[in-house]
Amino acid sequence: MISPFEAALFVFVLVAAVATALLRDILAVIVIAGAYSLGMALFYAFLLAPDVAMTEAAIGAGVTTLLLLLTIARTARTDHTQLLERPNVPAVFVCGAFLVVLLVTITEFPVVGDPGIAWDNPAITQYYLEHAPKDTGVENAVTAVLAGYRGFDTFGEATVVFLAGMAALLVLKREVFTNE
């Protein structure tokens, strides 16, 4: 049901996620967060979602890591003689409660690839898989949905990306990105 490679990847992602929460040295945390993103990108590729995998690898592992490195380059690094961060008890409690809720719901999830599951509903998913090439003339169903069926939503998302850049300019009190 789950291949050894997937199991190893799962353990890797889990260990990386826990390490980002526990380690004290922020540089180490950023590097591990990048590795975590790369592991997740592989996961998405295994779950046959190459579009999401590419986005995660490029944005999550690449660009975000670079931006975080740039940010800590401009801050003073705190003393990190201790290896681990001292856990914040209320935060541990909240995260633990959230984890319990997630674990309860996860048992209700159907097995990946199980044929009678909700998102295998032919009335919805098969409709797009069958009609997308005819309706839009586009072979990639993901692109057909993103730019075709819900193009207005994508317009909003693209504008949000644009606004992220504007917000960075505003917060950092600059008028130009590079040079005049």
Partner 1 sequence: MSDADSERTVSAYVESQIIMTTVRLVAPFSLTYGLFLTFHGADSAGGGFQGGAIAGATVLMIAFAFGIEPTREWLRNRTVVLLASGGVAAFAAVGLIPVVYGDNFLGFPVFKKAFGIKAKWGLEAVEILGVAPIVTGIVIGLFFVIAAGLGTEAPDQEVTTDD
Interface with partner 1 by CB under 8 A: which residues?
A: 27, 50-51, 54-55, 58-59, 62-63, 66-67, 69-74, 76-77, 79, 135-140, 142-144, 146-148, 151-152, 154-155, 158-159, 161-162, 164-165, 168-169, 172-180
Cβ neighbours of residue 117 closer than 8 Å, sequence gap 6 or more:
110
How far apart are alpha carbons 153 and 166 in whole angstroms? 20
Q: Residue 47 Cβ, how far from partner 1 at the closest point, in Å?
A: 13
Measured CA to CA in angstroms, residue 76 lies from 17, 27, 71 at distances of: 24, 12, 10
107 vs 179, which CB is nearer to partner 1?
Answer: 179
Burial 124-153 (b: 16+ CB within 10 A, else e): eeeeeeeebeeebeeeebeebbbebbeeee
Q: Residue 108 Cβ, how far from partner 1 at the closest point, in Å?
A: 30
Q: Residue 109 Cβ, how far from partner 1 at the closest point, in Å?
A: 25
3 vs 179, which CB is nearer to partner 1?
Answer: 179
15 vs 138, which CB is nearer to partner 1?
Answer: 138
Cβ proximity of 37 and 82 under 8 Å: no
Q: Residue 67 Cβ, how far from partner 1 at the closest point, in Å?
A: 6
Cβ proximity of 32 and 19 under 8 Å: yes
Q: Quickly count: other Cβ atoms within 10 Å of residue 159's Cβ.
A: 10
3 vs 178, which CB is nearer to partner 1?
Answer: 178
127 vs 162, which CB is nearer to partner 1?
Answer: 162
